[in-house]
Amino acid sequence: MGLIEMASGKSIWKGIDYCDKKKVISWECVGAYEYHGLVSGSDGAIYDVHINKEHPKKSTCTCPFAEGRRVVCKHMIALYFTAEPHAKEDFLEEAKRWEAEEEARELEHYHDLEKYVKSLSKSELQDQLLDALIQLEERRNYW
Ligand SMILES: [Zn+2]
């Protein structure tokens, strides 16, 4: 599993934002798969970040979220995408593809729903509508 696969979506998008805002103050390549860098945090703190692409669990960051835990934080992602801009482009391309697929799935679902509704007789429609309204109301009371 790579750094990206280990990170939460939130960490990835924040990491991209940090990368775009040039929050990575300095970085260097310290091995075939490793980078070390300094990344400025949202509170003005500067975090010491080390990433290992081959063994993501060996990556470290001194921020409160990642310190002492085997997690991938936004500072690691920011460092990774700053050191390897093509990896960021690849990720953004893939995200766009997922979004398009998701939209296509949603559209298909609505078409199926429309087909289903149009296939119902008037009395079936009345029953279904009543059920749906009751469900809506119950949900509203529940929340
Ligand atoms: Zn961090």
pLDDT digits (tens, 9 = 90+) for 63-81: 999 998 999 999 999 999 9
pLDDT in tens, 29-61: 999 999 999 999 988 899 999 999 999 999 999
Please indicate, yes or no, if residue 91 is contained in any of the structural domains. no
Cite the beta strand spans of the chain per DSSP E.
Answer: 24-31, 34-40, 46-52, 60-61
45 and 115 co-located in one domain: no
Å from CA of 31 to ligand 1 middle: 20
What residues are neighbours of ligand 1 (ion), with CB under 5 Å? 61, 63, 66, 73, 75
- Strand arrangement of the beta sheet that strand 34-40 belongs to: 24-31, 34-40, 46-52, 60-61
Residue pair 27/83 in contact by the 8 Å Cβ criterion: yes
Å from CA of 80 to ligand 1 middle: 12
Å from CA of 13 to ligand 1 middle: 14
pTM recorded for the entire structure: 0.77
3-state secondary structure of 84: coil
75 and 132 co-located in one domain: no
Which residue in the block uniquely carries the two structure tokens 């801009």?
Answer: 85
In terms of residue numbers, what domain contains 109?
96-142
